[in-house]
Amino acid sequence: MRVISRHPRFDQASYAASRATADVALLKLSSPLPDIVVPATLAAPRRVAAGDTLTIAGFGVTVAGTARGLGLPRMATLTMTGTPGSLQIRLYDIATKNQHIGLGGCTGDSGAPVFDGDGPLVIGVISWSTAPGDEEGCGDLTGLHR
């Protein structure tokens, strides 16, 4: 596998300082994937708003700092919060409202798809997550790049 192209808005200094940047790239695999792997279709660009829902899918851990759940496929429908930008969208579990640990991305989910609509259509990829109170971990906010 090799990097074909980094996102033009990626900034290494921002990444190192844990600030928002387009930390995504296009990769080329050294060999084709097995026929059982079906590529997802990209969603058409559209405006998104707070309250919209998207579905994340990943193979990351279920408890930060452990290997619990690593490698097992999971998905969750999350709700957009705040003002979505052209680079980043923040999602949360509406059932827990950022008050305690809920559903969301976690370690190992970075780069996993975020689906929109009935497709499934890929609207973005998971980039980061936090624990409640903006602490390190997961179960609160999930950030995605689009």
The per-residue pLDDT for range 115-138, each reduced to its tens digit, is: 997 668 999 899 888 888 888 888
The DSSP call for residue 131 is B
State the DSSP H helix or E strand holding residue 14, giving kind and residue range, or none if neither.
helix 12-16
Average pLDDT of the segment spanning 33-58? 89
Q: Which domains does the chain have, with CATH numbers?
A: 1-39 (no CATH), 40-145 (2.40.10.10)
For the record, the structure tokens of 1 come out as: 């596998």
Cα-Cα-Cα-Cα dihedral of 34, 77, 27, 33, to 10°? 0
Rounded mean pLDDT of 12-35?
A: 80
| pLDDT interval class at 9 (50, 70, 90) | confident
Tens of pLDDT along 72-108?
Answer: 999 999 999 988 777 788 999 999 877 888 899 998 8
Contact partners, residue 135, CB within 8 Å, separation at least 6:
none
Average of per-residue pLDDT across 24-36: 85
